């Protein structure tokens, strides 16, 4: 029980820290930072695939949450690359 409380406290603290950090970043830096965090999203995707393919002793809830995590991390990675591609296209010379 103590472990769950500690993990929830850590999760809530991370949420507050994340919101504080994101609100302090100027809007002009959001796109470059997003393209830089695609590597972190890739690591999240690997963890989600591991969770989705957990062993036979895992419950259906673990497999379901793992699948949802895989889908969300994939959308995040693809969206990040699309935004980065669009940002880089703005700097190309027009012929």
Tens-digit pLDDT profile for residues 83-93: 778 877 887 88
Residue 3 belongs to a domain: no
Domain enclosing residue 59, as ranges: 29-90
DSSP states of 27-87: GGGHHHHHHHTHHHHHHHHHHHHHHHT--TTS-HHHHHHHHHHHHHHHHHHHHHHHHHHHH
Residue 23 belongs to a domain: no
Residue 19 belongs to a domain: no
Split into its structural domains, the chain has a count of 1
Confidence of residue 57 (pLDDT cuts 50, 70, 90): low
Residue 59 belongs to a domain: yes
Residue 14 belongs to a domain: no
Residue 18 belongs to a domain: no
- At residue 13, the pLDDT reads 94
Q: How far apart (Å, rounded) are the C-alpha atoms in residues 49 and 30?
A: 27
Cα 52 to Cα 6, 8, 23, 41, 95, distances in angstroms? 24, 22, 32, 16, 47
């Amino acid at each position: 029980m103590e472990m769950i409380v500690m993990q929830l406290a850590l999760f809530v603290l991370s949420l507050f820290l994340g919101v504080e950090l994101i609100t302090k970043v100027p809007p002009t830096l959001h796109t470059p930072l997003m393209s830089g965090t695609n590597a972190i999203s890739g690591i999240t995707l690997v963890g989600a695939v591991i969770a989705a393919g957990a062993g036979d002793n895992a419950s259906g809830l673990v497999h379901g949450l793992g699948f949802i995590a895989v889908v969300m991390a994939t959308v995040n990675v693809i969206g990040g690359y699309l935004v980065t591609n669009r940002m880089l296209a703005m700097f190309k010379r027009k012929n």
